[in-house]
Structure 1
Amino acid sequence: MKQTNYDVLVIGAGHAGVEAALASARLNKKTGLINLYTDKIALMPCNPSVGGPAKGIVVREIDALGGEMAKAADATALQTKLLNSSRGPGVWALRVQSDKEEYSKYMINKIQNQANLDLIVGVAQDLIVENNTIIGVQLADETIIHAKTVVLTTGTYLKSLILQGNEKTESGPNGEMTTKGISGSLKRLGIDLFRFKTGTPARIYKDSVDVSQAQPEPGTDAKLAFSFSTKTFTPIAEQEMCYLIHTTLETKKIIEENLHKSAMYAGDVESIGPRYCPSFEDKIVRFANKDRHQIFIEPESKNLDTWYIQGFSTSMPIDVQEKMLKSLPGFANMRVKHWSYAIEYDCIDPMQLKPSLELHQINNLFTAGQINGTSGYEEAAGQGLIAGINAARKVDHLEPLILRRDEAYIGVMIDDLINKGVWEPYRLLTSRAEHRLLLRNDNAEQRLKQYGRDIGLIQDAEWNEYLNYLQENENALEELKTMRFTPKSPLAEILDTKYNIKLKQGYSGYELIKMPNIPVDELIPFIPSMQNLRVNQVQSITINSRFEGYVKKELEQVERFNKLEKKQIPTDLNYDHVANLATEARQKLKKVCPLNIGQASRITGVNPADIQMLLFYLKSQYAKDNQNN
């Protein structure tokens, strides 16, 4: 440890902690990163992948703001896919199968070589708070580290328990240390905690599985990447293969006969698990009419000899797990390297947070990741980046970065957490965003890169490249609008011959690209300015052209909603003075302390009638009450 006084102190070096620490250090703040180990940073204890529906867009948003996850995912990808490409653009999402070992090494290297950043190996034992303001942290060895701001990113390590059948073991993921001190410290400070659960499947030796009985699931040859800075792409022939199988009736029978042995159903679990990534026995109970379920066989690393069995998480005892695994196609002779387990851990009620991710009760204390009740590496990294930025800005007495729901999935997530709370591990879904046509995979830069630049995380070279990117888009649009194609043009002949599409009159390129039945790939060879564009640029031009009317209506709706966001609520407002509020609404408003009417209207338990009473009070009575006081 090089010093004991920091501007920003981050506790935990998972996906949230890494982003928080790197952001803070890159904003020229003296930053300390406390972790239990030197070599276990940005681990993937569960699924070795990054991205997916909504999550993949979050990774693009992290990159646009100046974070690191996208670059790491691109650099260590084993396979790349664009999910939902046959559906609407609002749900397109990039996903990579990650080399989990190389991903962690990549992040370790970034941490070790980042200026202004010290890695501190130790166990955070207690939070030091004076006058409701955090001033530092005490380690288990009694070392005191002072800090102007602190970011808690403790993941699943707070009072964690490993569950297999009726066996409970005090442990973090993969047999690592657990910590108890921070949970006790938070409780003493009056922070509400609860217990959540997650789990991970078994890891199976590759040479013990017959994948000839599985359906191959290859990646894509399209030049797709999470990061704006990525310039090299792995050909499909060099990507690793994933596989798909289905469970059998025998699998279902084994679960049903042994359900009483599951930690989850034997009454040994006091926590709530994730709805969208449940243990396999939970799938059997919830979907009793289904005889089979999808299971994906995925590589973990080029350095490892194991398969990750996605979708087969369980808290069954080991002898039952063995029967379950051997019932799968191609698994008759399987050998297990690591058995499946469930893990319980402490997290906070996120309704105690401000939109900046700072706790209402404790000044300068921020939280991010699974401690806030979320699940997923991407959700954690997105929160970590925002918490790190805002902790650094708090040191400089600057306004926090708060992303709106129409600007980013990160904004949707944080808004959901602080206004609606969580009753199960929160996972981002495209259905959570009411403006998902605006929050697309292709336009993350246009939405957020200006923020990254203004904050100071996007440097000159990348910014100038982005300005050129925008100019290329403008040039392509201009050429589309000025170039015309007659019924006798070479393009018209191709469309007639290959697709039986007849052009009965002359059209501009812009008019043609708006037609959903005309493949864009056939148009590009005739538009010189589009021929060297990136995949994301072509997607963005196509979507904005074809959905121009819908995008315009969406933006008009956003503008109406944003008027509510501009109606500020005074921070000293006493909700007990607001007449005719419902009891639940009054309690929730006191707890959340919304910044504006828009935020207040999204709080669970606050109804339109309550908003009307609040608006009436602010207009007619608040000034009088304030003057009297």
Structure 2
Amino acid sequence: MNDKNYDVVVVGGGHAGVEAALASARIGKKTALINLYDDKIATMPCNPSVGGPAKGIVVREIDALGGEMGKAADATALQTKLLNSSRGPGVWALRVQSDKLEYSKYMENKVKSTENLDLIVGACEDLIVDKDTMTVKGIVLQDGSKIMAKAVVLTTGTYLKSQVLLGHDSHESGPNGEITTSGISKALKDLGLELYRFKTGTPPRVYQDSVDLSKATKEPGTDAKLAFSSSTKEFTPVEDQELCYLIHSTPETKKIVEENLQKSAMYSGKKVGTGPRYCPSFEDKIVRFNSKEEHQIFIEPESLSLNTWYVQGFSTSMPIDVQDKMLRSLPGFENVKVHKWAYAIEYDCIDPQQLKRSLELKNVHGLFTAGQINGTSGYEEAAGQGLMAGINAARLVDGLEPLILKRDEAYIGVMIDDLVNKGVWEPYRLLTSRAEHRLLLRNDNAEERLKEFGHDVNLVKEDEWNEYLDNQAKVAKATQDLKDIRFSPKSELAIELVNNGEAVINQGLSAYEILKQPKVDINKFKAYVPSLNDLSDTLLQSVLINCRFEGYVKNEKKQAERFNKLEQKLIPNDINYDLVENLATEARQKLEKVRPSSIGQASRITGVNPADIQMLLFYLKNNYADDAKNNRN
């Protein structure tokens, strides 16, 4: 292979890598995607699903910014479900059960058909870095060929010096027996980066015809026209969607685990990487929640082309003979036949506090990282980071300022801010509880929050942008019509709502005022407000939420504005924290490591307390002019 030159090189074709490469190429940069295989692109080595609490909103955000995950998930969904619909809108989340083979094929076709994007099959062995300027210049493949670039994005997933753990056995391997790489780990260490060792796991896959689910609880999808992508216009009726199932482990399952605990890789006494707190192995559940006699297990299809179930919630690193006993102790699994046994995998990742909020490394110009290499878990977290890294790598090539999403603008912004400011000590999973403004970061309003950003960076094209503007106009008209039309207590609709116990109407009220009452169905106004019929289910949901939570949303926006004022108090590039008097030692060390760009960012660093912020503000007031340097990112 001859040496080649690109604007942006992306290393790794997982969920982060695909979004990064597509974003860079679509913005107009000559881009190369380096992948170990020609056809294994955006695969699902673990859970065959997309979305869920917080994660589903991230997918909506990816779509609003011009990414691909939402479109792929919609196009290959076996089942679509709205989670937490009985609770507040701040935690509503869409989740689809994906056809994992079709999902990967969809993404492969997108990569291979995208202009400006070349797929290069090979393994990255080293980085080319100008040590004088600490600027990345390209990569070296295992065959010795060089690929030069103005920016490099590392999205290596769990393939970075990875080892598979099964009982007491461990061997070098990527997921599902695939290739692993070790050269990048050495290159990063040589550049002075701090690496961690993390671990994740996956459950067994079993043949569908070997399992009796007659006693399992059926878990159907949601009967609504909901999708991740605004471009999705066709919806599969719930009766035509695939079923998932729910069973529970038994006391016998617990007994088997307890009797064989020392055979598990993580409880064998051998040092292994840190595993995810919020997606623990089954043996970890038994240890941590020992008083529980049973645990939920979801049985989910993997693909229409496969006769297999994914045993969700049964991840383990037990040896095969113990796994076999554990499986046969589950209801309906007495005669189970296993397609793939469970295993754990550990891999290298970096301390993300070494990153700027653009996801560029602080000490290597032009080198970006995204996904599990940053210490996160989950396809959605990876894709969100990959999209932002791809956007910012392309903007760096063009000499433009990076796109930085704030915590009140996107869950993606919350995630990246957490990684950079707080670091990780275990695989990071995005949760709704991590967002202080989650009523602003809803499933229904992702486009309203982020579509303009996607348009500004040239990822949202004009036809899609115009459709969005048209939809916003429809929402505005429907909202105004709801405010204009009034109903007296003697009107037919008012009498119906009162008699059904849905509303209290003692005086003339507008439709908008009536809708604020929580039991009222917005669909009942369609006969009186024709403009409601022009809205999709997602837009109709947005109108209802904006009406019902109007006061709460206004208060949350005011709170976000107060927080954002701290973001405007910038910290100069050249500040010497050793000169700031009365800083706690931990705060001084953390501030020096993170090098925050603003007081707001500094206040979110773990170990930096309000007293430290006061000392920092006092120092800045006395030593720097009000127009402090603002060229930070």
Same fold, TM-score > 0.5, yes or no? yes
Which residue matches 1:614?
A: 616
Picking from 154, 161, 164, the partner of 1:159 is 161
Distance 1:263-1:512 versus aligned 2 partners, 3 A rule: same
Please report how far the alpha carbon of residue 2 of structure 1 lies from its aligned counterpart in structure 2 after TM superposition: 8.5
Match of 1:328 in 2: 330
Q: Conserved in 2, the CA contact under 8 Å of 1:158 and 1:183?
A: yes
**Deviating more after overlay: 505-514 vs 416-425:** 505-514
Work out whether residues 503 and 517 of structure 2, in 8 Å CA contact, stay in contact via their aligned partners in 1. Answer: no
Query: Unpaired segments of 5 or more residues in structure 1?
Result: none
User: For residues 116 and 182 of structure 1, what CA distance do their matches in structure 2 show?
Assistant: 25
Q: 1:564 deviation in Å?
A: 0.5
Question: In the aligned structure 1, how far is the partner of 2:498 from the partner of 2:157?
Answer: 57
1:542 shift after superposition: 1.1
- Residue 594 of structure 2 aligns to which amino acid in structure 1? V
The alpha carbon displacement at 1:269 in A equals 3.8
Is the 8 Å Cα contact of residues 502 and 520 (structure 2) preserved in structure 1? Answer: no
Maintained 8 Å contact 1:487/1:502: no
Q: 1:324/1:554 Cα in 2 relative to 1: closer, same or farther (>3 Å)?
A: same
* Contact in 2 for aligned 1:80/1:220 (Cα 8 Å): yes
Partner of 2:19: 19
- Paired with 1:438 and 1:559, the residues of 2 have a C-alpha distance of 12
Specify the SS of the correspondent of 2:267.
coil
Which residue number corresponds to residue 34 of structure 1?
A: 34
TM-score by structure 1 length? 0.98
Partner of 1:194: 196
- The question of 1:250 aligning with 2:247 is answered no
Per mean C-alpha deviation after superposition, the further-off stretch among 527-536 and 286-295 is 527-536
CA contact (8 A) 1:2 1:118 kept: no
**Aligned residue number for residue 66 of structure 1:** 66
> By how many angstroms is 1:615 displaced?
1.0
Deviations 1:113-158 (A, max 9, x none): 0000000111100011112111010111100111000000000001
Judging changes above 3 Å, is the alpha-carbon distance between structure 1 residues 386 and 243 closer, same or farther for their aligned structure 2 residues? same
Residue 431 of structure 1 is aligned with which of 433, 437, 461?
A: 433
CA distances 1:74-114 after superposition (whole Å, capped 9, x unpaired): 00000000000000000000000000000000000000000
> Are 1:421 and 2:423 counterparts?
yes
Aligned residue for 1:531, secondary structure, equals: helix
**TM-fit CA distance, 1:238:** 1.1
1:11 and 1:387 mapped to 2: Cα distance? 12
Deviations 1:154-191 (A, max 9, x none): 00001101001000011000000010000011001100
CA drift at 1:6: 0.6
Corresponding position of 2:550: 548
| 1:204 maps to which of 198, 203, 206 | 206
TM-score of the two chains, using structure 2 as the length reference: 0.97
Quick one: distance in 1 between partners of 2:532 and 2:473? 12
Which has the higher mean CA deviation after the structures are superposed, 334-343 or 580-589? 580-589
Amino acid at match of 2:564: N
Per the TM alignment, residue 619 of structure 1 is displaced from its structure 2 partner at its CA by 1.1
Matched residues in 2 for 1:546 and 1:453: separation? 30
How far residue 623 of structure 1 moved from its aligned partner, in angstroms, is 5.8
1:411 aligns to what?
413
Q: Alpha-carbon deviations, 1:192-250, whole Å to 9, x = none?
A: 00100000000000000001121100001200000011000001111001000000000
2:3–2:145: 8 Å Cα contact kept in structure 1? Answer: no
The residue matched to 2:33 in structure 1 has which SS? strand
- In 1, Cα distance between equivalents of 2:278 and 2:505: 47
SS at match of 1:56: helix
Query: 1:495: Cα distance to partner?
Result: 1.3
Specify the code of the residue in structure 2 equivalent to 1:308. Answer: Y
8 Å CA contact 2:281–2:315 kept in 1: the answer is yes
In the alignment, what sits opposite 1:292?
294
**Secondary structure of 1:212's match?**
coil
- Corresponding residue of 2:478: 476
Worse-superposed segment, 266-275 or 181-190 = 266-275
CA distance in 2, matches of 1:562, 1:498: 45
Letter paired with 1:44: M
Paired residue for 1:489, among 483, 488, 491? Answer: 491
Contact 1:202/1:309 (<8 A) preserved: yes
Aligned-residue Cα RMSD (Å) equals 1.4
Secondary structure in structure 1 of the residue aligned to 2:608: coil
CA contact under 8 A between 2:503 and 2:514: conserved in structure 1?
no
Please report how far the alpha carbon of residue 3 of structure 1 lies from its aligned counterpart in structure 2 after TM superposition.
6.4
Q: How many equivalent residue pairs?
A: 626
SS in 2 for 1:219: coil
Give aligned-pair identity as a percent.
Answer: 71
Aligned twin of 1:462: 464
Cα distance in 1 for residues equivalent to 2:484 and 2:95: 37
Deviations 1:536-562 (A, max 9, x none): 111111111111111111111111111
2:242 aligned with 1:240: yes
Instruction: Give a deviation string over 1:289-327, Cα, whole Å, max 9, x none.
Output: 000000000000001110000000000000000000000
| 1:104-115 matched pairs, under 5 angstroms | 104-115=104-115
- Aligned partner letter, 2:361: L
Q: Can you list the C-alpha shifts for 1:389-430, whole angstroms capped at 9, x where unaligned?
A: 000000011000000000000000000000001111000000
Cα deviation for residue 490 of structure 1 reads 2.0
Q: Does 1:449 align with 2:465?
A: no
Q: Please tell me the residue identity of whatever aligns with 2:143.
A: D
CA contact (8 A) 2:15 2:42 kept: yes
Superposed CA deviations along residues 476-496 of structure 1, whole A, max 9, x for unmatched, are 011111101112222123213
Structure 2, gaps ≥5 residues long = none
Aligned residue identity for 1:186: L
